[in-house]
Amino acid sequence: MLDRESTFAQPEIVKLLKTSFVPVAIDQAYQRRQQDTEGDFYRKIAGQGPRSNFNGTTQGFYIATASGKLLLYNNNRDPEKVLRLMQQKLAEFKASGEAGADTAGIKASKVDERYQPKPPVGGLVVRVRAKVLDGYEPTLDPWQRIFQTSMSRDNLWLSKAEHDALVGGTIPQSLQQRIAMYHLVDNTRGEPPMWNEKELRKIDMKITDGKISGVAHLQAAKSERGFEANIVGEIETKDGKVTRLDFVAKGDFWGEGQFTKNAPKGRFPLAVSFTIADGTDVADQIPPQASRGWVRGYIQE
Amino acid sequence: MLRLRAWISVGVLMICANPLLADEADAKRNGPLTHAEFLELHKELQPADEPWRTIPWKIALLDAQRSAAELKQPIFIWAMDGHPLGCT
């Protein structure tokens, strides 16, 4: 999120990525483990950098040639520094023989299916975005300001049975539970802790004449973190398909997680919005964060 | 025109300085979710002008490798813990 709002909001970096590089975004926890052609190519590149132990994280920005030669590893998020390094490495690339060299495209001779999660056939992908609406102390720190105004992005996956139930006018318990436990979270400052079944105190959603309404109550065992929200929305269907699914959960959130520090003090208003992903956004293809390495547990078909 | 701008400025200042109106705005943000607020919030949380979404990201490294070979351009890899286009 920080990178999206800082490095990749810098106009010159955006322009360079559009015109002079082939940009790719990956969850390296997959690529460094994948036992296939793509994993081999990733490890070939990352292994030339300082993070060559593939039992640990290899996160960062990499610039590499199509032949797999590493030109840059950087894990500093300062947009000015990233821009300077990109310009420098691009100039070096153009001056080298690599720029004019013919390199063959790599065909995937082996695909590790464990790391190729796909949305359920006949189901739905729903965009989920969250924002803290109020409660932060004023700050002059530009990085903190990014966190304080940030909007998160995740996807919710529905099975075909859940989609069909929505068409019939009901919201199955499995879907309500998934929405509550994995998507009613404050992920605006980093990777959030999800809720477990004991922490799910209440989720009750219903459809009445095309209107969605509901309440949710999530609370950690020692009450150090919680969310009490109302849910309001609308649903439309046509010819056996859900054509619109818009709803918002809004209420009081409190607490923070190991990677979501610096939440507002006490209770603060958090809104989480849901809308059908129409496939026009590349992020529509990203698996839900809660499904990471555990798709069957997430979707529980 | 200048007079109109001045009146608008005074009006904005009066609204911002009026504690009753400020309380009303706070109550709206912090109060129960109404249907009208759902519509407003839902729109607010679907911004159309995010620069990172205008970048033609690929999400498969081998797709990027093949494009880089064809276009004779370097690959820029954004590799994170959790997917950088989602996750948070």
pLDDT in tens, chain B (88 residues): 445 444 444 444 444 445 455 555 555 556 789 999 999 999 999 988 899 999 999 999 999 999 999 999 999 999 999 899 987 7
Size of interface A-B (CB pairs under 8 A): 247
- Predicted confidence at residue A239, as pLDDT, reads 98
Dist CA A265 CA B67 (whole Å): 48
Report residues of chain A scoring pLDDT below 70: 301
- Predicted confidence at residue A132, as pLDDT, reads 97
pTM of the model: 0.88
Contact residues on chain B for A23, CB-CB shorter than 8 A: 55-58, 64, 75-76, 78
**Interface touch B59/A285, C-beta < 8 Å:** yes
| Nearest residue in A to B82, CA atom | A27
Name the packing angle between helices A37-46 and B61-71 (round to 10°).
70
- Beta carbons of A2 and B84 less than 8 angstroms apart: no
| Probe site for chain A from B29, B33, B66 (most A CB atoms < 10 A) | B33
- Predicted confidence at residue B9, as pLDDT, reads 45
**Interface touch A248/B62, C-beta < 8 Å:** no
| Probe site for chain B from A26, A34, A150, A281 (most B CB atoms < 10 A) | A26
> Residue A198, Cβ neighbours under 10 Å: how many?
9
**Interface touch B76/A63, C-beta < 8 Å:** yes
- Predicted confidence at residue B29, as pLDDT, reads 59
- Predicted confidence at residue B14, as pLDDT, reads 47
The tokens describing B52, both together, are 């990172």
- Beta carbons of A126 and A156 less than 8 angstroms apart: yes
| Chain A closest-CA separation from residue B3 CA (Å) | 34
| A51 DSSP β-pair partners | none
| Nearest residue in B to A147, CA atom | B88
Dist CA A201 CA A239 (whole Å): 36
| Chain B closest-CA separation from residue A129 CA (Å) | 6
- Predicted confidence at residue B13, as pLDDT, reads 44
- Predicted confidence at residue B12, as pLDDT, reads 42
**Interface touch B86/A287, C-beta < 8 Å:** yes
**Interface touch B30/A134, C-beta < 8 Å:** yes
* Domain ranges within chain A, ordered by starting residue: 2-114, 119-299
**Interface touch B66/A105, C-beta < 8 Å:** yes
Q: Is B48 exposed, middle or buried (0-12, 13-18, 19+ CB in 10 A)?
A: exposed
| Chain B closest-CA separation from residue A271 CA (Å) | 8
| Chain B closest-CA separation from residue A102 CA (Å) | 7
Q: Which of residues 230-269 of A touch B (CB under 8 A)?
A: 230-233, 246-248, 250-251, 269
**Interface touch A25/B60, C-beta < 8 Å:** no
| Chain B closest-CA separation from residue A168 CA (Å) | 23
- Beta carbons of A14 and B55 less than 8 angstroms apart: yes
| Chain B closest-CA separation from residue A239 CA (Å) | 25
The residue among A222, A218, A221 whose CA lies nearest residue A253 is A218
- ipTM for the complex shown: 0.91
**Interface touch A27/B30, C-beta < 8 Å:** no
| Probe site for chain A from B23, B55, B71 (most A CB atoms < 10 A) | B55
- Predicted confidence at residue B49, as pLDDT, reads 85
> Residue A138, Cβ neighbours under 10 Å: how many?
7
